[in-house]
A and B are shown apart, each in its own frame.
Chain A
Amino acid sequence: DAGVIQSPRHEVTEMGQEVTLRCKPISGHNSLFWYRQTMMRGLELLIYFNNNVPIDDSGMPEDRFSAKMPNASFSTLKIQPSEPRDSAVYFCASLTRQGGTEAFFGQGTRLTVV
């Protein structure tokens, strides 16, 4: 298996633009997590899906952020409009089964908003 695949790896955009980050979890995994990592705030959990259903989105910073999982093999994290403080590395992770704790992370998307 190719592991968790995120795209793009790097994204530079101007303030106010819409940004869409993509994630393909490992086949057969039924839990998916989105994280944001910065030097100041560390690794923050944004939202968690189980069987394509959002379970906990309390970590989503504000209404400008939205996430979807239309099927078991694809998820998106969208920021609209983007702001410079959204600059961070965004990680996606998937889990083998509900109740397990061995998550597999993607390589991340480094977002820079100028």
Chain B
Amino acid sequence: LAKTTQPISMDSYEGQEVNITCSHNNIATNDYITWYQQFPSQGPRFIIQGYKTKVTNEVASLFIPADRKSSTLSLPRVSLSDTAVYYCLVGETDTGRRALTFGSGTRLQVQP
């Protein structure tokens, strides 16, 4: 299994850009990188997915270097409502459970 490592917690202020990096040294050729967001008392919500280089959507950007051994989730101009736990997942569901095995996540606290 491609194990992921990400910071336990991060603090930021409103309006700042937040970058959360995830390490996945054992990523396999067919693996995708997926990020989820979870608010208290809710189920996780898909944010973004990528394979290589850069992916951007209306919520975030995902930067993946050429060796794919890490990835960085970038949240532009965070607000208080971005306070949540962010999970990095690596894998593909064809193999059963890998893509949806959640680690400890990064607890982001945004302050005014």
Binding site for B on A (CB under 8 A): 4, 31, 33, 35, 42-43, 45, 48, 55-56, 58-59, 91, 93, 95, 98-108
Contact = CB atoms under 8 A, between A and B. Distances in A.
Main secondary structure of the interface of A (DSSP, over half): strand
A105 B44 contact: yes
Given A42-B103, A48-B100, A101-B99, A106 B93 contact: no
Interface residues of B, number: 25
B46 A102 contact: yes
Nearest to B94: A99
Contacts, number: 66
A99 B92 contact: yes
B94 A98 contact: yes
Interface of B: 32, 34, 38, 41-46, 49, 87, 89, 91-94, 96-97, 99-105
A102 B49 CA distance: 8
B42 A101 contact: no
Given A42-B104, A107-B42, A107-B43, A101 B89 contact: yes
Nearest to B30: A99
Contact of B45 (A33, A105, A108): A105
A6 to B, nearest CB: 9
A43 B101 CA distance: 8
Contacts of B94: 98-99
B87 to A, nearest CB: 8
Nearest to A48: B97
B102 A99 contact: no
Nearest to B99: A101
B93 A98 contact: yes
A22 to B, nearest CB: 15
Given A42-B104, A45-B102, A103 B46 contact: yes
